[in-house]
């Protein structure tokens, strides 16, 4: 398959490399000068998209996605598939899908979960929104880049699934960190707390798979000085997207709102930028009530 790939950063580059390794013809473009093994670089986004059966984008935000869409949609062949793997606001995803459909192009929003490690290993999860026909066409590519792809519904459904999932993750990580900090002050051993909670009703992915306490539970960024597996900055971005969507949909999400405020404080005022999102634990350890 001939594939255009636009946005070859930390996530896009390994994803494009995996497609090339699998034997696809991949033409890439990025605003930075990059080289990716097996990927032929084009001088512009439009050149990367021209003649491609599938164009994949992995971009920082909705505003840039809209700009790139303006450039590449006129260059794309009718019947081609435009797959955006960025995590952006639902409104931008839907606006770009409508623009593509008017031009006779199949559009999908397919944000991912799994981070840079998952992109490199080809073990990402794709949450896809858009027509069934587009999903079936692109499914073999999702299978190369990831281990799971879920067709969540129409345009914007992939972004909706991603931000709802990550809102839960942000809230549960804060609750897990608060509980460890409280356990410390109550004189409860962290390992004992983990042994109870990980097999009781407090069970969660944040506790069981990604424990924020160093030396407790399976290996996690907490055991590596909180170097990011999933950066606090990215959690803040996703929580802001969740609250933007909640406002747009008139949904009451007080826990999501509070989680966003706490991560904003942590990242922007308390030195949390560049740290893993589970570094909320040392933050709570240092604090007192009120």
Three-state secondary structure string covering 7-25: CCCCCHHHHHHHHHHCCCE
DSSP 278: G
Which domain does 54 fall in, by range? Answer: 2-153
d(CA 195, CA 193): 5
Whether the CA torsion 7, 13, 19, 20 is positive or negative: it is positive
pLDDT band at residue 132 using 50, 70 and 90 as cut-offs:
very high
Q: Is the pLDDT of residue 287 over 80?
A: yes
If you average pLDDT over residues 140-150, what whole number do you get? 98
Query: Within this chain, do residues 39 and 120 fall inside the same structural domain, yes or no?
Result: yes
Same domain (yes/no): 200, 66: no
136 and 57 inside one domain? yes
pTM of the model: 0.91
Q: Are 57 and 67 in contact (CB under 8 A)?
A: no
What mean pLDDT comes out for the span 24-42?
Answer: 96
**pLDDT category, 189, cuts 50, 70, 90?**
very high
Calpha distance 56→18 (Å, rounded): 13
| 69: enclosing H helix or E strand | helix 62-72
Check residue 75 and give its pLDDT. Answer: 97
Question: Average of pLDDT values for 23-34?
Answer: 96
Examine the fold and report which residue of 111, 132, 153 is the final residue of a domain before the chain moves on.
Answer: 153
Same domain for 200 and 139: no
Residue 115 pLDDT exceeds 90: no
Query: What pLDDT sits at residue 290?
Result: 74
Indicate if 233 and 275 belong to the same structural domain.
yes
Looking at residues 37-49, what average pLDDT do you find? 97
Check residue 19 and give its pLDDT: 98
Q: Could you tell me if 149 and 13 lie in one domain?
A: yes
Closest by Cα among 4, 19, 2, 5 to 145: 19
pLDDT in tens, 190-238: 999 999 999 999 999 999 999 999 999 999 999 999 999 899 999 999 9
Are residues 117 and 174 both part of a single domain?
no
Domain endpoint, select from 153, 180, 198: 153
Strand-strand pairing, 54-57 and 106-109:
unpaired
| Same domain for 137 and 168 | no
- pLDDT for 236 equals 98
* 228-271 residue pLDDT tens: 989 999 999 999 999 999 999 999 999 999 999 999 999 999 99
Q: pLDDT value at position 184?
A: 97
Per the prediction, the chain carries an average pLDDT of 97
Residue 162 among the catalytic residues? yes
User: Picking from 72-81, 113-122, 163-172, 177-186, which range would have the lowest pLDDT averaged per residue?
Assistant: 113-122
> Is there a single domain that holds both residue 116 and residue 185?
no
Q: Which of 40, 78, 162, 227 is catalytic?
A: 162
For β-strands 25-29 and 146-153, DSSP reports them as unpaired
| Number of domains within the chain | 2
Quick one: 61 and 145 in the same domain? yes
**What is the model's pLDDT at position 24?**
98
Identify the CATH number of the domain in which residue 141 sits: 3.40.50.720
171 and 269 within one domain: yes
The CATH number of residue 178's host domain is: 1.10.1040.10
End-of-domain residue from the set 122, 153, 184: 153
Question: Residues 144, 168: one domain?
Answer: no
Within the chain, strands assigned E span: 2-6, 25-29, 39-41, 54-57, 81-84, 106-109, 112-113, 124-129, 146-153
């Amino acid at each position: 398959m001939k594939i255009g790939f636009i946005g070859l950063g930390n996530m896009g580059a390994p994803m494009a490399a995996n497609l090339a390794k699998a034997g696809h013809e991949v033409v890439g473009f990025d605003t930075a000068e990059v080289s990716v093994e097996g990927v032929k670089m084009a001088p512009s986004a439009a050149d990367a998209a021209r003649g491609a059966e599938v164009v994949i984008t992995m971009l920082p935000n909705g505003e840039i996605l809209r700009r790139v869409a303006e450039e590449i949609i006129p260059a794309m062949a009718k019947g081609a598939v435009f797959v955006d793997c960025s995590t952006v606001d639902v409104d931008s995803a839907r606006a770009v899908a409508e623009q593509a459909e008017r031009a006779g192009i199949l559009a999908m929003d397919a944000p991912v979960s799994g981070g840079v490690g998952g992109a490199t290993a080809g073990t990402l999860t794709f949450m896809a929104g858009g027509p069934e026909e587009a999903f079936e066409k692109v499914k073999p590519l999702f299978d190369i880049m990831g281990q799971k792809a879920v067709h969540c519904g129409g345009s914007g459904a992939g972004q909706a699934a991603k931000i709802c999932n990550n809102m839960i993750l942000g809230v549960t990580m804060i609750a897990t960190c608060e509980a460890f900090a409280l356990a410390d002050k109550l004189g409860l051993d962290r390992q004992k707390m983990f042994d109870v909670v990980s097999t009781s009703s407090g069970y969660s992915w944040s506790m069981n798979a990604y424990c924020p306490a160093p030396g407790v539970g399976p290996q996690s960024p907490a055991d590596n000085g909180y170097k990011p597996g999933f950066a606090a900055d990215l959690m803040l971005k996703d929580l802001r997207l969740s609250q933007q969507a909640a406002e747009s949909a008139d949904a009451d999400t007080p826990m999501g709102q509070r989680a966003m405020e706490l991560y904003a404080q942590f990242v922007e005022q308390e030195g949390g930028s560049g740290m893993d999102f589970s570094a909320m634990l040392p933050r709570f350890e240092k604090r007192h009530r009120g």
